[in-house]
Each structure stands twice: as structure tokens, then as C-alpha cells.
Structure 1
Amino acid sequence: MIETWPASFRPKSIDVHPVTLTQAGPRTLSGRQQRAAPDAGHWGLVAEFQVFTMDQLLDWRAMVAFLDGGLNSVRMGVFDERQAPTTGAPLDIALGADLALRATTARFAVAAAGTLKRGMYFSIRNRLSLITRPPEDLGGGLFDVTFWPPARAARSSGEPVEMANPRGTWRLADPKTGRLKLEGNYHGEPSLELEESFEGL
């Protein structure tokens, strides 16, 4: 099952990072070392929160219980609005061509947005991606965008691209994460360690 993260919760700190699967062999006498990755890796997220109100407390308890040690998933943004290519008007970005499974380059059709830059997040159907190279301007509002990780699913041209509030799909990385220690029986500062979930693909 997949739920949506409660709107009442914004983290006081957040760390969104690639979890790579790189493996290294032993070094040779000359100091060289071979490295390889069996797959492209996945997203990890660590966030710290503040719980002050009864509604926040109840939402926290319910959400951690729902996640069930990692068996269920949650759609949650990365709270990166300040870095979004906003101009004051709503963003209007879509895929300008079909996107293949495991592709690392997409074509964006931009009708309304600021400058697209490497390091910006985007999501398609709640699957988080990061632009890794300066987008190539093809003219006519079309841009070729290189991103990580590889596309988790094939998508059709015209599919909306979310950059104002990109979201990922997550599950608990550790069954013990999310514990809430209350001070004075009402206030706490819990944290969550999440990893990318492939549920629903």
C-alpha cells in the first residue's frame, strides 16, 4: 500500500542522497583499483522533524505504524521549492518524447518555467530524479535532460513533469526508524531514515 505524507509535517532538516552500489576490488602494486556497479543504485533520505501539536503527534504515530517496518510506502516530497525553476506563474513542463525504461536522458517540453539547471530535482508519477548535466536547449521550448537514476518505468510523451514539488516514493530503511520520544508528553524531535521504494512499478 502507498500513502501520501501528511501536509502538517515539514522537516527541520533533510538529506536526500544517492545510495550507490559501487564495489571495489583490491589495489594493485601500482595503486590502481578497479570499480564496478552491478546496478545504478537508489535514493536514500534522512529527515528530522519537530512535533509540537496533538495533530502532528497523531499523524506521526499513524504514519509510522502504516509504514509497517518498510512493508508499505509513502509518497513524500523533498522540500526543495527554493531551487525549483519557478517564475511566479505555475510551472508547465511535460515529456516532449516517449521515455524508455532505464533511460537516462529525457526530452522536456517547457511551456512555462524558469531556467532548468543541473542539480534540480524533478519527478514523474512520484518517481524522483535529479538533473546531472546542463540541459541542452533544442529551441522551441524543447530541452534534452540527462538525469539520475535511470527511469524506473517507460512513460509516454505528454506525461507531466513535476518540478515545483518533486516527490519520491519511499519506505522505511530500518524498521526501528521513526521512534518518537516525547518531552513533557507532547513535544518531540523524531527522525526518519527512508529509502526509495519500488512498490507500484
Structure 2
Amino acid sequence: MPLAWPSILVPSSENWNPNKGASRGGGRGLTNQEQVVVGPSGYNTATLTIPCMTRARVLAMRALLAGFDGRAGSVFVGPFEVTRAPWFVDPDTGGKITYGQGAKDAALDPAWATNPDTSSRLDFQVGAAAAMNATSITIQRNRGGFLEPGMMFSIGNRLHLITALTTADPVDPDTLQAGAGAVGIAFRPWLRADYPVGTPIEFGRPLGTMGLATDDTGAMELQLSRLGTVTLDLVEKF
């Protein structure tokens, strides 16, 4: 079972490549030309730099690294998409309601979490049955913002990135904000499995199944034996 990523460990920088290894070639010939083809071989990689500047973060990082059991283990983790996710827009203020904002509001008054105008809930689903190895699908948006190329999402704990919209994005004629309806997208990498209609799609906190790229990645050097910064090189696990 993959580990859960400790919420206290927030990267100061992250580098996600959602489609590494998607092309294959046979090498250059005598004329210095090479035939390169695309195939369903792309996979996610990431480099996360994580400051461990408190005792709690140091302990959490130690526990995480030990729990990996080297390259044998895995963790559910994804990009921190707070500024890029298709959040629902408050019809009164015009502000985007992130998961973090929704949690703060609900802590003051639980009614904020159930009010359709103030809830941070997102609801995106597979809109038409999608087959393994597909690079385009239909998304049914029931609640959320406009979709854009470059946004990352997860389905079945696998990360993907939108490369293009293949249909128009529905607009609510009354608010001119994103409306409920179907949106076609192209994406990478290829789907890892078959997904039926109604399968949840996560944009607000997308998570993929990732593992250590090498047994030595993430070595923690503590300055003055107290604090440090850890760099993790991760690859998608299958």
C-alpha cells in the first residue's frame, strides 16, 4: 500500500515531467537521420525540494524516507496546484474558493462547507467510458472552474496533464462562469486503465503513485545537526 504524503512537508520548488520517455528511436543511421515515434511509454517524474526547518518536519521526513524501503515503496503525492486548479468561483465576491480557503471558512461556520455558493468542493467525472491507452477523454464538470491546457489532474491515483481542449468549455449564461456540462480534453501520458462513466477526476489536489528514483535520493544532511533541505527524485510506480 502506498504511503500517505505528510501534509507538513511542503516543497519550496517542484519540477514535474508528466510525459518522460514518450518517444522511441532506433538511433542515427549513416545519413545522421533518426526515425522517432511516439508510444504509450510516457511516465511521470518529479524533483521536489523540501525545506525541513522545524523539528516536526525533520521527523516527518525521516519517517517518510524510512517508510519507502528504498525503491521498493511508493507514496501518493502530486503537484501543489493551489494557484492553477479550476476552483469554483464565489458568485458574490468573484474569488476562487480553494480547498484551504474552504477549510478555514468551515472551521468558523460549518454551514460554509454545505452552502453551494461557498463550498470549496469540486466535482469532475469521466463523462464517457475511457479505454486504457487513450489520450483524450470527455470530462463531465458538475462543479468547478474553466479547464485550461497545462492543468494537471489525477484519475485512479495516476497523474495526467491537459495538452488541449477538444471541445468548447460550457459557460453559465447567467454568471458567465464555468457551467455544468461536458468538456473534451487531450492529455498526456496515456491512460493506465479503463475508466467507466462517473469515475472521479481530481484537479484540486491531484495525486499520483510515485517512488524513489534511486535508493540514495533524499539523503538528509542536517546543518548543525538540526535543520536541512531534502531533494527527492521521484518516478511513477506501476
TM-score by length of 2: 0.77
**1:182 maps to amino acid:** L
Task: Provide the aligned length of Structure 1 versus Structure 2.
Answer: 197
* Match in the other structure for 2:138: 107
Q: Deviations over 1:71-100 (max 9, x none)?
A: 011001211221111122422111111221
* Match in the other structure for 1:130: 161
Matched, 1:169 2:170: no
Q: Root-mean-square deviation (CA), in Å?
A: 1.7
Percent identical pairs in the alignment equals 31
Instruction: Give yes or no for contact 1:117–1:135 (8 Å, CA) kept in 2.
Output: no
* Match in the other structure for 1:12: 12
Instruction: Give yes or no for contact 1:171–1:196 (8 Å, CA) kept in 2.
Output: yes
Structure-2 separation of matches of 1:135 and 1:182? 49
| Deviating 4+ runs (over 3 angstroms) | none
TM-score by length of 1: 0.91
Instruction: Give yes or no for contact 2:40–2:133 (8 Å, CA) kept in 1.
Output: no
Structure index of larger Rg = 2
Superposition deviation, residue 58 in structure 1:
1.2
Structure-2 separation of matches of 1:53 and 1:85? 32
Matched, 1:80 2:111: no
- The DSSP-based 3-state class of the residue aligned with 1:133 is strand
* Match in the other structure for 1:26: 28
Instruction: Give yes or no for contact 1:116–1:135 (8 Å, CA) kept in 2.
Output: no
- The DSSP-based 3-state class of the residue aligned with 2:153 is strand
Instruction: Give yes or no for contact 2:147–2:169 (8 Å, CA) kept in 1.
Output: no
Q: Which runs of 5+ in 1 are unaligned?
A: none
Q: Residues 12-161 of structure 1 correspond to what in structure 2 (within 5 A)? A: 12-17=12-17, 18-24=19-25, 25-27=27-29, 29=31, 32-37=33-38, 39-86=40-87, 87=89, 88=97, 89-137=120-168, 141-161=181-201
Structure-1 separation of matches of 2:24 and 2:124? 37
- The DSSP-based 3-state class of the residue aligned with 2:68 is helix
- The DSSP-based 3-state class of the residue aligned with 1:193 is strand
Structure-1 separation of matches of 2:7 and 2:215? 23
Structure-2 separation of matches of 1:71 and 1:149? 23
- Larger mean Cα displacement after TM superposition, 189-198 or 139-148: 139-148
Structure-2 separation of matches of 1:181 and 1:104? 41
**1:55 maps to amino acid:** A
Q: Deviations over 1:117-142 (max 9, x none)?
A: 11110111221011111241376611
